[in-house]
Amino acid sequence: MFGIIASIIDGVLVGSVYGLAAMGLTLIWGVMDVVNLTHGSLIVAGMFALYLLTDATGLSPYAALPAIVVGGFAVGLFLYWIAVHRMIGRPPLMSLLSTFSVNLVLVGLGTAVWGTGLFNVPVSLPGLTLQRFTFPGTHILAAVLAGVLAGCLYAFLYGTRLGKAIRAVANNRGAAELVGIPTTRVLSFAFALGAALACVSGMLIATLFPFTVLSGDAYQLKSFVVIVLGGFGNPAGALFGGIALGLVEGLATPFMPVSWILVIEFGLFVAVLVARPGGVFALRRT
Amino acid sequence: MATQQVSTRIDALPRTILHRPFFWIIALAIAAFVVAPTIGNDVQLRESLLLAAVYIILASNLNVMIGYAGYVNFGSIVFFGLGGYLCVWLVGRPGFPLAVAALAGGVVVSALALVFGFGVLRLRGAYFALATIGVNEGVQAFVMNFSPWGGAAGMYLSTELFAPLGGPRQALWTIYYLLVAVMGLSLYLSYGIKVSKFGLGLLAIGQNEDAAAVLGVPTRLYKALAYSATAFLPAIAGGLYYFKSAFIQPSDAFDLTFSTEAIAIVMLGGQGTIAGPAIGAFFYEELRGWLLTSDTFSHFQLVVAGALLLIIVLFLPRGLIGTAHARWPDLRRIIE
Amino acid sequence: MTALLEIDGLGKSFGGLRAIDRLSFVVHEREILGLIGPNGAGKSTLFNLINGVFAPDQGSVRFGGVDITGAPPHRIAKYGIARAHQIVQPLEAMTVLENCTVGACFGSRNLSRRQAEAAAYEAATFVGLDDRLAIPAAHLNIAGKKRLELARALAAQARLLLLDEVLAGLNPTEVEYMIGVIRRIRERGIAILMIEHLMQAIMSLSNRVIVLNSGQKLAEGLPAEVANDPQVIEAYLGDPELARQLHGGS
């Protein structure tokens, strides 16, 4: 019995990191109606940034966090002006395709540089042992950091002028423009912020599991599942969605082979999408 | 002036599809596919054209959803992969003849798509696109675990099964011709839909779904029918293709890059046109072959493909044929 | 006069707001029934209930003696009710002729695409769009798009047209032209239920007028009777411009 509870708790810890990743995706979606298909690559970029930084400096992995936030933000700005800016306000197919093609370029460059082999970042942290079960320290710290970063994002969106401007643009771009909000700057900022979140979550995932250049797809799909559970364009919902996904994974792990969990996830994804397009935790239906 | 011009245009409308020049252009293209590799018994050309035919099948059918109805099916490869699995399994286990197995695969996949379409097509825009990714990934994850179909390891066919088709060498030619036939059917299907009442309804849905419903288009039924109709031929093609390989595994059969390539092809050629997906597929296959053999680019195949697609999306959103149509409107009557 | 459309006790709420409140009225064959009322009175919602965009919470809609309550929009079109939208909804990339062909193909008569094309040509000519048949609908100006709305509805060969502010945003010459078109439509024996803010037009076109306020019927009668109804004038006091027009127009 305790094993099951422990598995659930561990699932929730990891799930909160998925939630953080999905926040970046849903922020961009909500603000500019763009489904960012470079999301997976940005997660992978965070993983490899961590790998390179720790490899080069020998510092603790967690010290790399500020650098990865700044780097992710800069990459996000660059991507916005390359692939997204011209797609704003055009049919969803166009931004899907433009971000998809940038993703192809990024994956191609990644495989050319690093190949498709397995990488991992060694982290030594003491775990927390309760009875026969040990919760890895990396899982606990990653969940705490994810929670703190989610809190920061929330404080930013609701407490600052720029955050309010982002929410205003998300709500009604035309009206925001009329009251003098520089929408293009706000959009590029929001996209960069979403990219930074994806990179940071990639960095945190790299402290938990080994990864390859091609890991992005799987985590991107997980982010979609999380968003569907948490509600589109709703960053707070994404954290809950991530925790819910972690809960499902943790609950299922003791009872079935890991490979069946994917079937459940995608089944859940399609079923929820069709039955409640606004998301399980969404307050209003879109 | 304009009145006269237009009213004569109406009177001059071809009576049937057989009176349109483009019908015969398609026929010529199919004939070229049939004849070209037999000259000098060119097996390498045949293999390249076979891949082009598969791309044309996928892209033409996808185009009905994307270019006509305006629904971006990101996971269209699930039809091809599932058709392949059904066919390989039916040939390998109960020992059905290839034609029956491939056809059965088409019918089953098409029926599944019809049932599923009614649910998934309630979603619009990006939501629909995501759901189709979910369907593909879900089916892949399921097949990975489905032991009757070999799970993640996949299924092999014994080469003895080529015997009814006149041995391995002859069988490859037969399958090539069958795939060319499916390609021809795909082109004529997408052409036939476009000039029909059904196609007019789909085009209206693609422009403004709510307005289409008010004008009397049964939108839910039409969308589900289109989804199902465009599953049929790709599923048969998948059956033929994987029978030829004599091997199928989930990571190939449900590879999302394959279906995103199909989207890129539709965009490259021009969504909503008949010739666009075919020409796009031809160019794409040629480019891919060149990139794979080029020393400089073989490592950067994805980079080049991605950059090319980005350029099309940014600067040529109507694709090759669409741009040509906008430039020379009269071209519409010849290349549709 | 026989009743064509019978609305009985119709009601629809959105959240706490009663958009349509136990509304009953009849549209007779071959008549133009004007529907007026202040902004937010529920006029467009009523159209959405009649043509199936929304399902009503209570009450019934009968058309030609058949209960059509809650049927989806495409079925309503088959029954023979066509609609011109207040905010024009052209199928932008399709030509004017193709737009009308959609109306004809999927309208009340089950036409083949070829037959529909002929009907579409006729409808487009009727509203004076025959010089623009081959251009994409997106390229029409607002007056052209308004005419296209009307042409599509006509091509459907409906027995009842729902016209939602087809005169709004037009200049006086265009208004004059459209009024002529609407008169000629009635001469063809098609009944019309029209929402209009342009009082002069509605008073001169309508056989009868219904005034809607807060989802309820405030008054019903001949145009002159309604215009002098003290209740109606009071309802419009919140909208002085309309009150002035009401007096000037009658």
Q: Phi and psi of C91, rounded to 5°? A: -85, 95
Name the neighbours of A, counting chains with at least 3 Cβ pairs within 8 A. Answer: B
pLDDT over threshold 80, residue A284: no
pLDDT over threshold 80, residue B15: no
Q: What residues of chain C lie within 8 A of the CB of B13, using their CB?
A: 114, 117
Determine, for residues A101 and B313 on separate chains, whether the beta-carbon distance falls below 8 Å.
yes
Q: Are residues C72 and C169 in the same domain?
A: yes
Q: Are residues C73 and C177 in the same domain?
A: yes
- The residue in chain C having the minimum alpha-carbon distance to the alpha carbon of residue B198 is C113
Confidence at residue A19, expressed as pLDDT on a 0 to 100 scale: 93
Confidence at residue C2, expressed as pLDDT on a 0 to 100 scale: 86
Domain coordinates in residue numbering, chain A: 2-119+137-275
| B/A touch flag: 3 or more CB pairs below 8 Å | yes
Residue with tokens 């890129």: B264
Residues 154-193 of B with CB under 8 A from A: none
Determine, for residues C92 and B208 on separate chains, whether the beta-carbon distance falls below 8 Å.
yes
Confidence at residue B327, expressed as pLDDT on a 0 to 100 scale: 85
Determine, for residues C92 and B207 on separate chains, whether the beta-carbon distance falls below 8 Å.
yes
Confidence at residue A90, expressed as pLDDT on a 0 to 100 scale: 83
Q: Phi and psi of C193, rounded to 5°? A: -115, 115
Q: Are residues C145 and C189 in the same domain?
A: no
Q: What residues of chain A lie within 8 A of the CB of B309, using their CB?
A: 97, 100-101, 104
Determine, for residues C106 and B201 on separate chains, whether the beta-carbon distance falls below 8 Å.
yes
Domain boundary among C158, C186, C219: C158
Confidence at residue B263, expressed as pLDDT on a 0 to 100 scale: 87
CA–CA separation, B113 vs B60, rounded Å? 17
* Distance of residue C44 Cα from the nearest chain B Cα, in angstroms: 14
Read off the pLDDT of residues B32-48 as tens digits, 9 standing for 90 and up.
999 988 888 888 889 98
Q: In CATH terms, is domain A2-119+137-275 a member of 1.20.1050?
A: no
Neighbours of C174 (CB within 10 A): 17
- Write the CA distances from B96 to B90, B93, B108, integer angstroms: 6, 8, 15
CA–CA separation, B297 vs B303, rounded Å? 9
Read off the pLDDT of residues A48-83 as tens digits, 9 standing for 90 and up.
999 999 988 888 888 889 999 999 999 999 999 999
Q: What residues of chain A lie within 8 A of the CB of B74, using their CB?
A: 96
Determine, for residues B201 and C102 on separate chains, whether the beta-carbon distance falls below 8 Å.
yes
Tokens of B200: 């007019």
Q: Which of B123, B302, B313 lies closest to A274 in CB terms?
A: B123
CA–CA separation, A27 vs A36, rounded Å? 10
DSSP A119-175: B--------EEETTEEE-HHHHHHHHHHHHHHHHHHHHHHHSHHHHHHHHHHH-HHH
| B218 contacts chain C (CB < 8 A) | yes
Q: Residues B16-26: what's their mean pLDDT?
A: 83
Q: What residues of chain A lie within 8 A of the CB of B307, using their CB?
A: 101, 105
* Distance of residue C73 Cα from the nearest chain B Cα, in angstroms: 5
Tokens of C198: 């342009």
- The residue in chain B having the minimum alpha-carbon distance to the alpha carbon of residue C107 is B216
CA–CA separation, B254 vs B142, rounded Å? 11
Angle among Cα C170, C173, C175 to the nearest 5 degrees reads: 45
Q: Which of C83, C114, C116 lies closest to B214 in CB terms?
A: C83
- Contact status, residue A74 vs residue A80, Cβ threshold 8 Å: no
- The residue in chain C having the minimum alpha-carbon distance to the alpha carbon of residue B193 is C113
Q: Are residues C102 and C75 in the same domain?
A: no
| B65 contacts chain A (CB < 8 A) | no
Determine, for residues C91 and B203 on separate chains, whether the beta-carbon distance falls below 8 Å.
yes
Domain region containing C97 = 88-158
Confidence at residue B163, expressed as pLDDT on a 0 to 100 scale: 81
Determine, for residues B138 and A263 on separate chains, whether the beta-carbon distance falls below 8 Å.
yes
Determine, for residues C91 and B207 on separate chains, whether the beta-carbon distance falls below 8 Å.
yes
- The residue in chain A having the minimum alpha-carbon distance to the alpha carbon of residue B70 is A93
| A96 contacts chain B (CB < 8 A) | yes
| B11 contacts chain C (CB < 8 A) | no
Confidence at residue A93, expressed as pLDDT on a 0 to 100 scale: 78
Q: Are residues C49 and C103 in the same domain?
A: no
Q: Which of B197, B212, B216 lies closest to C113 in CB terms?
A: B197
Q: Are residues C30 and C98 in the same domain?
A: no
Highest mean pLDDT among B124-138, B164-178, B212-226, B260-274: B212-226
Domain boundary among C111, C134, C158: C158
pLDDT over threshold 60, residue B5: no
CA–CA separation, C208 vs A211, rounded Å? 75
pLDDT category of residue B1 using cuts at 50, 70 and 90: very low
Q: What residues of chain C lie within 8 A of the CB of B70, using their CB?
A: none
Confidence at residue B129, expressed as pLDDT on a 0 to 100 scale: 85
* Distance of residue C230 Cα from the nearest chain B Cα, in angstroms: 37
Determine, for residues A259 and B152 on separate chains, whether the beta-carbon distance falls below 8 Å.
yes
Residue A132, burial from CB neighbour count under 10 angstroms (0-12, 13-18, 19+): exposed
Question: Domain with C184 in it: what CATH number?
Answer: 3.40.50.300
- Interface A-B, measured as beta-carbon pairs within 8 A, has a size of 118
Determine, for residues B208 and C91 on separate chains, whether the beta-carbon distance falls below 8 Å.
yes
Name the neighbours of C, counting chains with at least 3 Cβ pairs within 8 A. Answer: B
Q: Coil, strand, or helix at residue B215? A: coil
| B9 contacts chain A (CB < 8 A) | no
- Write the CA distances from C246 to A65, B64, C34, C209, integer angstroms: 69, 52, 13, 12
Confidence at residue B298, expressed as pLDDT on a 0 to 100 scale: 66
Read off the pLDDT of residues B266-291 as tens digits, 9 standing for 90 and up.
988 988 999 999 999 988 888 877 77
Q: How many domains does chain C have?
A: 2
Alpha helices for B64-163 (secondary structure H): 77-92, 98-120, 125-145
Q: What residues of chain B lie within 8 A of the CB of A93, using their CB?
A: 66, 72, 129
Q: Are strands C191-195 and C58-63 parallel, antiparallel or unpaired?
A: unpaired
* Distance of residue C176 Cα from the nearest chain B Cα, in angstroms: 23
Which of the 8 DSSP states describes residue B67?
I
Name the neighbours of B, counting chains with at least 3 Cβ pairs within 8 A. Answer: A, C
| A257 contacts chain B (CB < 8 A) | yes
pLDDT over threshold 70, residue B264: yes
CA–CA separation, B227 vs B235, rounded Å? 12
Angle among Cα A184, A187, A188 to the nearest 5 degrees reads: 85
Residue with tokens 């509805």: C153
pLDDT over threshold 60, residue A2: yes
- Contact status, residue C147 vs residue C129, Cβ threshold 8 Å: yes
Determine, for residues B210 and C53 on separate chains, whether the beta-carbon distance falls below 8 Å.
yes
Confidence at residue A79, expressed as pLDDT on a 0 to 100 scale: 95
Q: What is the CA radius of gyration of chain B?
A: 20
Q: Supply the ipTM of this predicted assembly.
A: 0.88
Interface with chain C: mutation pick from B196, B215, B318, B332, highest number of C CBs within 10 Å: B215
Q: Are residues C93 and C170 in the same domain?
A: no
Confidence at residue C4, expressed as pLDDT on a 0 to 100 scale: 92
Residues of chain C with pLDDT under 70: 237-250
CA–CA separation, A144 vs B283, rounded Å? 51
- Contact status, residue C249 vs residue C200, Cβ threshold 8 Å: yes
CA–CA separation, C16 vs C11, rounded Å? 13
Angle among Cα C52, C54, C58 to the nearest 5 degrees reads: 100
Domain coordinates in residue numbering, chain B: 17-33+40-333
pLDDT over threshold 50, residue A282: no
Residue with tokens 């771009």: A173
Q: Coil, strand, or helix at residue C82? A: strand
Read off the pLDDT of residues A207-229 as tens digits, 9 standing for 90 and up.
999 999 988 988 998 898 898 88
pLDDT category of residue B250 using cuts at 50, 70 and 90: very high
Read off the pLDDT of residues B167-177 as tens digits, 9 standing for 90 and up.
888 889 999 99
Contacts 24+ apart (CB under 8 A), C110-113: C112/B197, C113/B195, C113/B196, C113/B197, C113/B200
DSSP lists the bridge partners of residue C162 as C83, C193
Determine, for residues C77 and B218 on separate chains, whether the beta-carbon distance falls below 8 Å.
no
Q: What residues of chain B lie within 8 A of the CB of C92, using their CB?
A: 207-208
